[in-house]
Structure 1
Amino acid sequence: MTSQSVFERILDPAGRADPYPLFGQLRATPVARQEDGTYVVSTYREIVELLHDPRVSSDRRNLASAAEPPDRYPAFIGLDPPEHDRLRRLTMRHFGPPHSPGLVDGLRPAMLRITTELIDGIAGKRRADLVDEVAYPLPVAVICRVLGVPQEDEPQFHAWADQIIETLGPGEEDRAERERERQAVSKQLEGYLAGLAEVRREQPGEDLLSGLVTYRGADGAMTPQEVVSTSVLLLIAGHETTINLIANGMLTLLRHPDLLRRVRDEPGLVVPTVEELLRYEPPVQIISSRTALDDITIAGTTIPAGSPIVLALAAGSRDPAHVSDPDRFDPCRPRNEHLGFGGGVHYCFGAPLARLEAQIVLAELVRRLRDPRLVADPPPYRPSPVLRGPRHLLVDYDGVDPA
């Protein structure tokens, strides 16, 4: 029986609570070839270089030998320019500048109202699961509001997203079975969104889905399949990652009580705190869907054309060659360039929304919970090595201050 490689140990759920020592070991070989022919890149400079290299494809159809069937209609996160650029422009038109500059900030009052209601809901208790009762409901409500999903369908959306997320980790022995499960769940989600898109086509509203199905412009219009694949992407990326960012953030603050008190007393500190969280405890730890289109030589290693490439973002953001004292949580770093939202043409589409949600929720939790304390450290984690965060975060507290 062969021993596990460092990367295989990172994928093992047994180490999910603290993978960072393993990421440190991984950086000793900046470009590490795995037995299956995958190249894992773990240092900041090399990751950034590959994120901006047009010879690195995000389209799984370019793999020399695909171990799994490609998506029938890939979302733009799984496409390369120019297809990627067209779909991203069509989507961004209804989400952010220059055509919809006020959408994210315009959600601030609703985010604060929902957060207030969620914290009010745990006011009569002395123990709460901050994942189930706060960190999950807000992002789900927000992304459903953005897309135009009826409120009563939010729980089903979360169930679908959870099932899909569980299949995203690279390298598991049961990958084929997980892929079959993902395809089955995705089909249910896609069917629902296709039906909702048809309703919006006939009765458009102010939501993003209505914009996707009705807009015609210089880039043409989205096909029905493109509308559905884009909506699925926004659902998954728009709430699963933010749940983890909030949960990782509260866990980190509870582990640093002096800093928690500072954030409570200096509300403006929550902004750099969230930025440091994206470096120190990123919700997206690994990008596992890249392929070399040509031979690429980096850090003295040649990655052959057609090879799978994994970018270990969490390792890169803690690279001591890039940031001093990388294992220390310090929101007051003078420079904080991290990989929390990826980079290049695939830089996280929803970054402004995720930042704002985390800032609002963490600020309100810190301000209103009296003497919050972890019940278990480490808490139980989700199994995925890609989107890492606590499955539950039980906290005891002495009461909840008024809003």
Structure 2
Amino acid sequence: MTTSATRSASTAPSASTALSATDLFAQVLRYDNRPNPYPYYAQLRRHPVARTDDGSWLVSGHREIGQLLHDPRCSADRLDPLNKTPKEARSLLLQDPPRHDQLRRVVTQEFIPRIMGMRDHLGELVSRLLDARAGDQPGQLDVVADLAYPLPVTVICELLGVPREDEPLFGSLARRLTRGLDPIDTQTEEELRELDQARDELVHYLEGLITRRRADPGDDLLSGLMRHEDPDEVMDPVQLRVTLGLLLIAGHETTVNLIANGTLALLRHPDALARLRTDPDLATTLVEEVLRYDPPVQMSGRSALADIDIAGTTIPKGSRIRLMLAAGNRDPRRFEDPDRFVPDRRDNAHLGFGGGIHYCVGATLARAEAQIALTALVHSLHGPRLVADPPPYRENAILRGPDHLPVAFERLTPRIA
């Protein structure tokens, strides 16, 4: 469990430091290293496939991660001994073909048409959120609380048909549940109890939501999933609940980090901020660079269905695998000058949305939300500066981003992106 010792100050590794893969991973997970885990990822890349003391494997090279993301012998089942959920009742993120393909097909067919043509609406939402903070000149806003969080939450509620007034409930549940994604030895006993309670509360909430929607269906995504056009692919009640929970939580949690991390990168790189202010088209490549440089999801889990030979070693069948996406995103074998933020970087084959059959379903929407939010911010905020650098970070090591991001400004003139 987390102790005060594990949270004490630590120093970034020097070039001569020779830490084991186990020790380096422990450093990545330490809360006090949350503002900058990248020196430890760099050391991990010296051995792109490395075994830890508990028998799991860390894969930190870009090429090797890409190979495993596309390898059918690499299962999405994380082999989590604490997960008592029957495999057939788990979300599509934890499913392999053919079940994964069936679930993803249904979600994609209902999800993608509903997000087409949303850019104008997203711009209106962003402008409305910023306008609410324009009263005091000069002033201050919390980019997380005032924009990065309410924007994707509002959007996913509208898409799913979830009452916006329920946000305080599922927002609290989301925070507790996403904390449970981190390795168990980084969580306190209290956090583990809260995780179990949050799972029960989420089931109760989602079942009530589904019951209400069955009685009063609409044109939202949840209604679409319940009456999907192919009767052979309609989800059973358990899978419908699991999928709804996944979309509700994953539909906003990662986007919060993407917008916050992007804002942080811009404020730390004034030249990039100035370029985006004069060239809004830069937003497309800039968001891709944020996804590479400081991704909202830092790592992902897999397991080996067979012996896998990779990078001169063999990952044995049955092994747990951690794909260190953030480490691969800064692999100098793949990216030139990888530790530099380059807003117009070309050939940017980042791992920010994963890859292979589990590539993020909501990537298109997340990109649009981030592009519009960041462009609106740089046009609206005059004289912006970070109040704290580094800002306070969330507990999560996997879903990594600022908990709050206070930004002071001289003047705020909101406009639609």
- Structure 2 length-normalised TM: 0.91
Residue 121 of structure 1, aligned match among 107, 132, 155? 132
1:59 and 2:105 equivalent?
no
- By how many angstroms is 1:274 displaced? 0.4
For each residue in 1:290-313, what CA deviation from the matched residue of structure 2 results, as whole angstroms up to 9, or x when unmatched?
A: 111111111111111111000000
CA-based RMSD of the aligned residues comes to 1.7
Q: Which residue of 1 aligns with 2:99?
A: 83
* Distance in structure 2 (CA, Å) of the matches to 1:128 and 1:319: 35
TM-superposed CA distance for 1:44, in Å, is: 0.4
Whole-Å separation in 1 of the counterparts to 2:106 and 2:76 = 19
Is 1:213 the counterpart of 2:213? The answer is no
CA distance in 2, matches of 1:112, 1:155: 24
How is 1:165-204 mapped onto 2 (pairs within 5 angstroms)?
165-174=178-187, 178-204=191-217
In 2: Cα distance, 1:27 partner to 1:149 partner? 43
CA drift of 1:110 comes to 2.4
Aligned to 1:392: 404
Q: Is residue 112 of structure 1 aligned with residue 123 of structure 2?
A: yes
Show the counterpart of 2:39: 21
Aligned to 2:240: 227
Query: Whole-Å Cα distance in 2 between the matches of residues 294 and 175 of structure 1?
Result: 34
The Cα of 1:93 is off from its aligned counterpart by 1.1
State the shift of 1:189 in Å.
1.4
Task: Return closer, same or farther for 1:395/1:59 CA change in 2, 3 Å cut-off.
Answer: same
> Structure 2: which amino acid aligns with 1:74?
R
1:3-402 to structure 2, matched below 5 A, reads 5-60=23-78, 63=79, 66-72=80-86, 73-96=89-112, 100=113, 103-125=114-136, 126-174=139-187, 178-217=191-230, 219-288=232-301, 290-402=302-414
Contact 1:11 1:171 in 2 (8 A): no
Partners of 1:286 and 1:330 in 2: CA distance: 22
Is the 8 Å Cα contact of residues 86 and 219 (structure 1) preserved in structure 2? no
Q: State the one-letter code of the partner of 1:329.
A: F
> 1:33-66 deviations in whole A, cap 9, x for unaligned?
1111110000000000000111111124xx3xx4
Q: What is the identity, as a one-letter code, of the residue corresponding to 1:265?
A: T
User: What do the CA deviations read for 1:127-173 (whole angstroms, capped 9, x no partner)?
Assistant: 11111111110011011111110121122221111111111112525
- Helix, strand or coil for the counterpart of 2:180? coil
- Output the CA distance in 1 between the equivalents of 2:259 and 2:320: 31
After alignment, is 252-261 or 192-201 more displaced?
Answer: 192-201
Preserved contact between residue 127 and residue 414 of structure 2 (Cα < 8 Å): no
Q: Secondary structure at the match of 2:412?
A: coil
Letter in 1 for 2:120: P
Give the Å deviation of 1:8: 1.0
SS at match of 1:285: coil
**C-alpha distance 176-83 of structure 1, shift in aligned 2 (>3 A):** farther
Please say if residues 91 and 212 of structure 1, whose CA atoms lie closer than 8 Å, have aligned partners that are also in contact: yes
Q: Deviations over 1:60-119 (max 9, x none)?
A: 4xx3xx4313334210111100011101111111111xxx2xx22332232212111110
Mark the runs of 5 or more structure 2 residues left unpaired by the alignment: 6-18
Aligned length: 393
User: Which consecutive unaligned segments of at least 5 residues does structure 1 have?
Assistant: none
